[in-house]
Amino acid sequence: MPYRLALHPVDSRWRPAEPVALTAVLRDIGLIGAPWGAAAAGRYLIGEHFLQLVTFMGCAPAIELAPPDDGGAFCHVRVRMFEAPRLFVDATGFNPRCTACGRRSPQWKTALPAWEQDPQMPVPCPLCGETLAAGALDFRHTAALASTFVEIHDIHPREALPTEALFTALERAGGGCWNHAYLA
C-alpha cells in the first residue's frame, strides 16, 4: 500500500502565486533534490538535508532513500497543487472526531464519496446530528484538506514527523501555518 506523509497548509484554499516558488524553497532548505520521473510529475529525489528536516521514529526504520533497481517503492517527495481544496484520507484509519459532540463514528466513511467531490458539502454527524463540512472534523492526522500538498512517499503512519524547521520554512514560503497527515 502506498503510504505517504502529506504536509499541507491549514488554510485549505492557499496555493502559491508561483508554484515554482514553493519548490525553490524546498530545494533551498534541502528537502528536495533533483527532479525524478516525468518532468511534469512534480516528483523529486530527497535532498541533502532531508534527514535533518524529517525525524524518523523508532531505533532502525527501514527507509529506501534511492530508487531501487527493481522499480519498487522508495522515499521521494511530490509537490501537488489543485485549483480547489481536495480531501485525501487514510481509508485504513479514517474515523474522525465530531467537533460538536467530540465523539468518533465509523459512519463518517459514508460521507467520503460526497466530500471527495465537494469537501464543503455539509453532512450531519451520525451521533449528534450537527451538520459539518469535512474541514470541521478532527481527523487526528488521518486526512488532509488542501489545495497544496508536499507529499513524502513511502513513509508509514507515525514512522516520521516533520521538524519545526521544516514547518517554519513552509510557513515562510506562504500560506501561514502548515500541518501534516499520514495517508494511504
Which cell numbers hold the place of 76? 521521494
Whether the per-residue pLDDT at 40 is higher than 70: the answer is: no
Report if residue 125 sits inside a domain. no
Report if residue 107 sits inside a domain. no
pTM of the model: 0.90
Residues 125 and 102: their CA atoms lie apart, in Å, by 10
Q: Which residues, 6 or more positions from 68, have their beta carbon under 8 angstroms from its beta carbon?
A: 74
Whether the per-residue pLDDT at 62 is higher than 80: the answer is: no
Report if residue 163 sits inside a domain. yes
C-beta separation of 132 from 99 below 8 A: yes
Whether the per-residue pLDDT at 159 is higher than 90: the answer is: no
Task: Name residue 7's amino acid.
Answer: L
Task: Name residue 49's amino acid.
Answer: H
Mean pLDDT for the stretch of residues 15-24: 92
23-27, 55-59, 86-90, 116-120 — which one is most confidently predicted on average? 23-27
DSSP 57: P
Residue range of the domain that includes 166: 4-94+139-183
Mean pLDDT for the stretch of residues 153-168: 93
Residue-wise pLDDT for 162-175, tens only, equals 999 999 999 999 88
Mean pLDDT for the stretch of residues 29-48: 88
Report if residue 115 sits inside a domain. no
Mean pLDDT for the stretch of residues 3-8: 95
What total number of domains does the chain contain?
1
Per-residue pLDDT, 157? 85
Report if residue 179 sits inside a domain. yes
Residue-wise pLDDT for 173-184, tens only, equals 988 999 999 998
